[in-house]
Chains A and B, each alone.
Chain A
Amino acid sequence: MILIYTIVILMGGGLLAFLLGQWNKSLPRWIALCTVSVGFVVLVSFWIERYRAVNIHLSNTWMIDYRHDWIPSFGISFHLAIDGLSLLLLVLTFFLGILAVLCSWNEVKERAGFYHFNLLWILAGISGVFMAMDLFLFYFFWEIMLIPMYFLIGIWGSENRVYAACKFFIFTQASGLLMLLAIIGLYFIHGRNTGIYTFNYFELLGTAISPNVAFWLMMGFMIAFVVKLPIVPFHTWLPDAHSEAPTAGSLILAGLLLKTGAYGILRFVLPLFPEASRVFAPWAMLFGVIGIIYGAILAYSQTDLKRLVAYTSVSHMGFVILGIFAFNELALQGVVMQLVTHAISTGALFIMAGMLKERLHTRDINQMGGLWAQMPQMGAIAMLLAMASLGLPGLGNFIAEFLILLGTFKANVLLTVIAAIGLVFSAIYSLRIVQKVFLGPSERSYQVRDFSFREIVIMAALTLSIVWLGLYPQPVINTAKPMIMKLEHIFSAENKNMEKENPSVTPLNMHKYLVNNKE
């Protein structure tokens, strides 16, 4: 029931904020803050309790499994369940949710009620996505989060907001509908095979599908997820959405919405279509690598701070797709870490961009410069975040990227090497941010104040977690472990079959010669 409560709390809080926002301006944000905090506390205490009570990395069961009939004639049920991965992402959702409320504390002055309604409903949709174990329900939540996000960007965004909001909506909706087709296709195939027509995830696992059909169905799922993630060439909605969204919107986009794509691949694409994924893996990895490099190069050339950070997301998400399709535990753990750490570090960068915008009324980094003199605290945090973004060891992102590359190295040496070049590019663009914004001579004579107390709280929470994840990532790793072991188990069996078939030496299977000594 805890799962339902989390969603209900968010939705109810949203409605309450909306209704009460009509007659009091500051009430909605307090309601929102309370709502999200309650959810956060509940989830974290659940996590800690679980972490203490059982060896979380050994338990192979679903922590909570709630099921209730919804549309029985279609075999659709209201089925929520969480395992470690879901739990992690849920905690992350609420964590960033709190920060999102906090960072829009003063930013949103008008229509605060509706604003917080949207904010909470986005969170509700995202939470639902992370919990739904019924494909129909999953799609349902998948779409639910879009509309409030659309409003968030479209109403409270900056100048070009409508264009950005529409672009975001249309991209995700188009890809989502293709996924719906695939879901329905899978539903009928499973139904015909077994006579049981159901959207239940657990039932659909292991559906026997002919390879060709499986490939297309998988592509249906994939397209939705890679657009969300996003992967080049489906990324172009992201810079627009990010740069136009209000701070909280960017935070949630970067921190959570993108993660739903990765989650979808981990949860649905790989387990449902293992063979097809395997066939597709080299291409997916290739696209990942292209994304890493391409996003980085684009990030380098941007002058709009938020746009720049948005492209860095493209680059970082390239690592995610690369790691997922490496199909081994190291890379997958790296992916989970990347989801969490990227959410935190990039979210923090967006918050910072928002703070700068609030102070300077511009996002153009050419108009900034030399801000360190007046805002040393913010400068220092920005430096730390830039370091996180370029993967400095000791910060969470390093663990993520290192594990991903380490895992990928086993699967494909050539692509790993190219992806590693992305690390150099990430240094280039990250340092450029710091240089352009905080260092160098002052472009204008600003009178800006450094962090306020509220901002310190936000940034402290983010930086502490990023450092924590960098130095002791074990809780995250352990929590995600059962899920990842399951995935690896699916693929390890096939791994062996594949390797026997292919004895010739090419640059693409060089890895066998680099890694074979161990076996």
Chain B
Amino acid sequence: MKSSISIEMVMLLAGLLFVLGIAGVIIRKNIIFMLLSVEVMLNASGLAFVAAGSRWAQPDGQVMFIFILAMAAAEVSIGLALILQIYHQHKSLDIDKLKEMKG
């Protein structure tokens, strides 16, 4: 079955999502939202993989996507655990407050 959406368009979307994710990470101060934005970036990469896989008509892209999902899940779970701890310690989720180490 021939796709009606061209690869370029999908890649463009993926790139857009990726840049949006970057922007989100940079702009947001709340750690949860930062994690969220990172997820967006990861998914953008996943999308790119899927698109690439479909270009070469291989399943590899989709396999990769599943791996990415799994990895993102693991990451988020640890991330959330850490966020809990941070909230516990700092009573805040503002990333800019986490500046104890520098120099």
Contact between A and B in the complex (any CB pair below 8 Å): no
Interfacial residues, chain A to chain B (CB-CB below 8 A): none
